[in-house]
Amino acid sequence: MYPDQAATRRLPVVRVQAGRRSAADDHAAVEEPLQVVVNGEAFAVVMRTPGSDAELTAGFLFAERVLRSPDEIVRIRVGDGHLGDGRATDNHVGDDRLSGDRHNVAEVETVADVRQRLAASSRRVTTSASCGLCGRQTIDSLKVEAPRVDGKWTLAPHIVDSLPGRLRSGQPAFAASGGLHAAGLFNTIGELTLVAEDVGRHNAVDKVVGRALLDKALPLSSSMLLVSGRASYEIVQKAFLAGIPMVAAVSAPSTLAVELAEEAGITLVGFVRDGRFNIYTHPNRISGSQT
């Protein structure tokens, strides 16, 4: 699941260097709204970078606890294509581009249990590219119930050091525009197994978790998650729900992210760059001597 050319758009710019102006072309990250419709009812508008929209929709609804398992999905339709649940005969990922804004609508059909859960809740969501928890009305509503994360493996520090470079190798849209975040899943020997780019860090995480959900690969107990930018509360929460034992970021974590990681059993690592990093919680998953 790698981004396509729709993630960036060529734009004319005026480039200034040493006081001299010249006409040039540049690439900017694409941001468009995606309307998520669940069982015929509008549920959310998500600001995202087009691409992997079925995965984004599945991951977003999983993080919102609308979906609890892949078996609750009957069909996800994006544009004129659709993604079945593995039992359907027409199991095709539809990310086709249509005229107008039809490609910016994701329609989800679920089993009856989900319909009943939604009927008891009136929450609808509008999110920006920087918001992973918009639409929540109380602090208590931020809390989620999930098993404490399992994962008894350990890895060497040099594997953590290598993750940003390996993630960058899977970021063609960032290389073109410099304006996209990324989330990557790695196995315990540091191999990049899944990557997604988006204007929002949390959207990129939803895309990789959504792919794993649709593949019936949750919980991701043998995976690490690396995000570009900082590690915020919502990033750790999404990892918690997906059963990911280690979350790393190239920048800083927030205090609430650290608190949640400690409680959830997640190893949280920040400032992974230039051969150094900080371990904030559950350091035993990373080997090394104490100085």
- Out of 111, 131, 134, 144, which one is annotated catalytic? 131
Residue 134: active-site member: no
Count other Cβ atoms within 10 Å, centred on residue 126.
13
Residue 285 — φ and ψ, nearest 5°? -75, -10
What is the set of active-site residues?
131
